Amino acid sequence: MPIDGNRFREVAGRVLAKRPDLALKIRSSNLNLDQLVTHARTTPLADRLDTARKLSIVESIGFRPDDALAESIVELFDRPTVFVTHNDFDLPAEPKVASRLERARTLIKPRLASVGLVEVFDGSVKWPVGTAWMVADGIAVTNRHVAEKFAALNEAGTPVFLTDFRNRDYQVTVDFAEERGSNAEKEIRVQEVIYIARAVDGAADLALLKLAQDPGLPRPIPLLATDLEPGAWVAVVGYPQPDERIPQEGREVEENYFGGIYGVKRLSPGEIDPVQGQAPAWVLSHDATTLGGNSGSVLIDLATGSAAGVHFKGVFRKANYAVRATELARVLNRLGLTAVSVAPAPRPSPEVMVAGEEEAVPEKFPGYKAKFISPRGGKTFNIPLPKITDRAPGTVAQLKNGRGTVLNYRNFSVEMRKDRRLCYYSAVNIDGSATFDVKGARPGWKYDNRLDRELQIKDECYGDESDGKFSRGHMTRREDPNWGKDRDDAVISNKHTFFVTNACPQIQPFNAGIWLELEDYALENCEQDQMRISVFTGPIFRDSGANADPEYFGVKVPVEFWKIIAFKHDETKELTATGYRLSQRNLLPTAEEFVFGQFAKSQVTIRFIERVTGLDFHFLRDHDPLDSGEEAAGDVIRPLRTPRDIVFKK
C-alpha cells in the first residue's frame, strides 16, 4: 500500500520533535529520515513493522495500524492498551509508561468499576454499541452517536427508545463487569434516555442515560473543573471493538495487536494534544490508542483520578477527540443534575539537578520516633531503630564533628554504609490521619552537609535511562513523612526525602507497583482511630559470591531491597510487623541494552531480613504473622501478586 512521502515527513518530524529518545534510537540505527521514507513507500507493511522492531521501537502492544512507519512509531512505542480486570489493570511493557501508570494506580483504580459496556437487545440479538460511565447519581454518560443506536428524539424533542419489529422498546443495559477471562456480569438496565445532543445545533457529542435503581450501581467519577493543558497524561478506559473503517491490510495487523480479544474493558494511556485546525471549543484532542467501541470512554486525568473528557471520535492517521469535562458539566447543570467537580492537581515541575548542591538539616528535627504507635486507650509500643550488628557488611558512616551515625530528617531517619555510600536503612513514621498532598513540590536532589560528600552518591550512576543510568529510588517514599500540623510541615518533610542519603539506584518502574502500595495497604488494615504505622526500608548488600551486586558507572548497584511495616492491627488490636523483599535482577541493564522483566516480589519473614542484612529489629520478629517462631521460619517466602495476598494475621 503506497504512502505519501510528504505526509510521512510531516508526521515523523512531529513525533521525533516530541520524542527525542526515538530520534536517538533512529540515529543509532544509521537510518536517516529520507531512507525511512523510501523504506516505508516501497516495503510491505509486515517488513516495515519488522524494521520498527529492529529499531527497538516495538516494545509494547500499543498500536493503531497505519500504512506509514512514522505512524507506527507514534502508536507502537508508548501508546499501549492493557486489560482491566477486577477493577485493576495490567502494566504495559514500555517502562516509562508503566511507571507513570503505576504512580497513578491508586487514583485510577477507584474509577474503573464505574465504566461499563453499553449493550442493546433489539428483539433478536444482543450487540455492543459503545462505552458509558457514571457521571452523577444514577446517571451514565455516553456519546450521542452511541445513543442513536437505540434511541432518537421525537417531534417534541424528547428522547425515546427505538422499537423492534414487534413494536417493543429496545432493551438497553450497561454491563460494568465485562472483562477478559470472566463470565461475570453486572448488567444494569437503562431506564430512560434523558438527553441526546442535537447534531444540527453543533452541540457536543453527548447523551445521558438514567439507570435503574440497583444496590450495585457504581459511584460517579468526579469531573475536572478546568480543562487540561497539552502534555497532561490521561488514561482512556472503555471497550474497543473491531473497526471496519481500518483498511484490510491494517485490519490484519489490528487483529494481531489485540490478539483477537475485543469488547472487554481496556485502559490506554496517552497525552493531551493541541487541537489542530478549526474545531468547536468543547473539543479536546488526545493520542491514546482507541478503536470504534471506545466511543463514550472516559479520559481519566492521571494527576487527580478525575474525568477530563468523553472520547467520541478518532480520525485515522491524525488524532483522537473527546468532549471536555467542562462542557459535560455545563450540560449536566443545564439539566439540573449534579456532578462532583474537582480542580486539577498541580503539575510537578522537572527536577532541578544542580551539580554540587547541598543543604543543611536543622538539628531540631527528631527524625524517627520509637514511641510512635500509641492508639488511644491502648499500649504504647516502643519500636527502636534497627541495630546494625557485627554481621552487617561494611562499616557505619560517621557524621561530621562527632555527631554520631544517625541522620535525622523530619519524621524519618537514615544510617549510611561508609564504603557503599548507600543507606543501611531508612525508617519513617507515618500518620495517615494528618497527611497533606504536596505532589507538586518536587525539589532537586541534594547532598546532606552533615556527612562528607565522598560518602554520598549524587550523580555517578544516576541520570537518563536511555544512557543506561539509574533513577534515584526513594527508600522512604516521598509521600510517607508528609504529615504534621499544617501543609508547611509536610512540604519540609517532602523536601527532606530528596537528600541523596535516602536514595538507591533503581530501574523504573521498579519502585512502583506493590512496593509503592504497601504502606497504603497497611494503613487500610491498621487501627483506624489514629492510622499510625512505622516503616523500615533498605537494600540487601551482597558484596561477593555468585550473586554479588553488579557494578555500573563505578557503583555497586543493589539487586534486592527489603521493607518492614509495623502497626497495630485494626481487627486483632495487636502489634503486627510484616516483611517484604523485591528484586530488580531481571530489570538491570545488560552490557548492550535494558532487559525488562517481571519484578520478583514476595512477603518474607523479618527473621529472613535480619539474616540477609545483618540488622537487628529487636522484638518485631515476635509479631510477624508469617513466622511460626521456629528457626526454619526464616525460609518462608510468599510470592505476592497484589497487596491482597499479604498475610496480616496468623
Alpha-carbon gap, residue 488 to 478, rounded angstroms: 15
Global pTM value: 0.51
pLDDT per position as a tens digit, 294-328:
899 999 999 889 999 999 987 655 678 999 999 99
- Match 557503583 to its residue by C-alpha cell: 555
Q: Helix, strand, coil % (nearest 5) of the chain?
A: 25, 30, 45
Say whether pLDDT at 188 is over 70.
Answer: yes
Alpha-carbon gap, residue 108 to 97, rounded angstroms: 14
pLDDT confidence of residue 92: 82
Alpha-carbon gap, residue 257 to 121, rounded angstroms: 29
Interval 79-103 mean pLDDT: 84
Contact of 207 with 143, CB cutoff 8 Å: yes
Q: Which CATH superfamily is domain 359-645 in?
A: Extracellular Endonuclease, subunit A (3.40.570.10)
Contact of 294 with 239, CB cutoff 8 Å: yes
112-211: what fold?
Answer: Thrombin, subunit H (2.40.10)
Say whether pLDDT at 252 is over 90.
Answer: no
User: In terms of C-beta distances under 8 Å and separation of at least 24 residues, what long-range contacts does 225-230 make, across chains too?
Assistant: 225/326, 225/329, 225/341, 225/342, 225/343, 225/344, 226/326, 226/343, 226/344, 227/284, 227/308, 227/324, 227/325, 227/326, 228/272, 228/284, 228/301, 228/308, 228/344, 229/272, 230/271, 230/272, 230/273, 230/274
pLDDT band at 595 (very low <50, low <70, confident <90, very high): very low
Q: Where are the alpha helices (DSSP H) in 278-381?
A: 325-334
Reported as type and span, the H/E element at residue 319 is strand 319-324
- Reading the block at residue 522, the C-alpha cell is 497497611
Nearest alpha carbon to residue 507 among 609, 443, 590: 590
Kindly state the percentage of the chain with pLDDT values over 70. 75
Beta-sheet pairing, 319-324 with 233-238: unpaired
Alpha-carbon gap, residue 203 to 200, rounded angstroms: 8
| Domain ranges across the chain | 5-78, 112-211, 359-645
How far does CA 299 lie from the centroid of its chain? 14
Alpha-carbon gap, residue 234 to 228, rounded angstroms: 10
Q: Is the peptide bond before 230 cis (omega within 30 degrees of 0)?
A: no
Contact of 648 with 577, CB cutoff 8 Å: no
In Å, how far are 358, 447, 479 from 353, measured between CA atoms? 11, 11, 20
Contact of 579 with 624, CB cutoff 8 Å: yes
Contact of 386 with 424, CB cutoff 8 Å: yes
Nearest alpha carbon to residue 241 among 259, 261, 270, 269: 261
Beta-sheet pairing, 341-342 with 139-142: unpaired
Alpha-carbon gap, residue 277 to 254, rounded angstroms: 28
pLDDT confidence of residue 3: 44
Higher pLDDT pick, 443 / 211: 211
Which of 65-79, 172-186, 197-211, 559-573 has the least mean pLDDT?
Answer: 65-79
In Å, how far are 109, 120, 434 from 174, measured between CA atoms? 19, 9, 39
Q: What DSSP line would sit under 448-501, residue for residue?
A: ETTS-GGG--SSSSBS-GGGT-BEEEESS-TTTT-BSSSHHHHHHHHHHTTBGG
Say whether pLDDT at 47 is over 50.
Answer: no
Those residues with Cβ within 8 angstroms of residue 189's Cβ, 6 or more apart along the chain or in another chain: 171, 172, 173, 211, 212
Alpha-carbon gap, residue 292 to 306, rounded angstroms: 23
Say whether pLDDT at 542 is over 90.
Answer: yes
pLDDT confidence of residue 17: 52
Contact of 370 with 459, CB cutoff 8 Å: no
- Reading the block at residue 489, the C-alpha cell is 510541615
Which of 50-54, 158-162, 246-250, 525-529 has the least mean pLDDT?
Answer: 50-54
pLDDT per position as a tens digit, 325-337:
999 999 999 999 9
Alpha-carbon gap, residue 61 to 188, rounded angstroms: 32
Rg of the chain, C-alpha, whole Å: 27
Contact of 565 with 587, CB cutoff 8 Å: no
